[in-house]
Amino acid sequence: MTADSPARAAQKARTRKALLAAARALVARGEEATVTAAAAEAGISKATAYRYFSDPAALAAEAGLDVAVASYEEITARAPDLRGRLAAISVYFYELACDHEPAFRRFLARNLDASVSPAGAGARAHVRRGARRVAMYERALAEDGTVPRPTRDRLVRELAMATGAEAMIALFDIAGASREEGREAVLGVVEAVCDRRLGPSPPPG
């Protein structure tokens, strides 16, 4: 499946953000944050809203996970090159998940429940997770301008798999890693993926 263009990814992120803001507004007024109600609050069609959230439990869980995310510019400010930017994004989203571990675990639990509900089963109608890190990977690669599109798509898929809450849970619960060991593992995967898709990094100096 071909990844979205940066413009399309940004549009999806805005739609998603609007639905989450609408859900939080409903909750703040003491109203039920259903998918239909959030769509109406945000001025988004019900059909579109259900492509992002097939179950109100997943919507409420993510709306409750109101974690401020640093901007792309802040995350990549000290990175000297493309590989550094990809590594910075990966480490940032891993550390973000660690900093908010209980909330991310609750969100994933609700989201996985929604994915096997009658509304979500069989059609992947549930929300696509990891949209923020995917958008940042795509931006870094698009700005670099030297990586062919098929390679960019592969890089985004492989890097997105290796960070965030899903990677944190695998590292903690399955591999028995500490937070620092998990961070080292994330960086190791980034290095291996970049070596495979971009070629070995040049020697220092």
Model pLDDT for residues 39-71, shown as the tens digit of each residue:
999 999 999 999 888 778 778 777 776 667 899
Identify whether 83 is part of a domain: yes
Range of the domain at 64: 56-198
Identify whether 35 is part of a domain: no
Q: Is the dihedral of CA 24, 53, 154, 185 positive or negative?
A: positive
pLDDT in tens, 179-203: 999 999 999 999 999 999 999 877 7
Identify whether 10 is part of a domain: no
- C-alpha–C-alpha distance, residues 182 and 178, integer Å: 6
Identify whether 14 is part of a domain: no
Q: What is the pLDDT of residue 204?
A: 65
Q: Quickly state the pLDDT bin for 28 (edges 50, 70, 90).
A: confident
pLDDT above 60 for 124: no
Identify whether 72 is part of a domain: yes
Q: Quickly state the pLDDT bin for 117 (edges 50, 70, 90).
A: low
How high is the mean pLDDT of the chain?
86
Instruction: Check: CB of residue 137 under 8 Å from CB of residue 155.
Output: yes
Identify whether 78 is part of a domain: yes
Instruction: Check: CB of residue 98 under 8 Å from CB of residue 179.
Output: yes
Instruction: Check: CB of residue 31 under 8 Å from CB of residue 37.
Output: yes
Instruction: Please tell me the pTM assigned to this model.
Output: 0.73
Identify whether 42 is part of a domain: no
Domain count, the chain: 1
Pick 6 or 187 by higher pLDDT. Answer: 187
Q: What is the pLDDT of residue 205?
A: 60
Identify whether 21 is part of a domain: no
Instruction: Check: CB of residue 97 under 8 Å from CB of residue 83.
Output: no
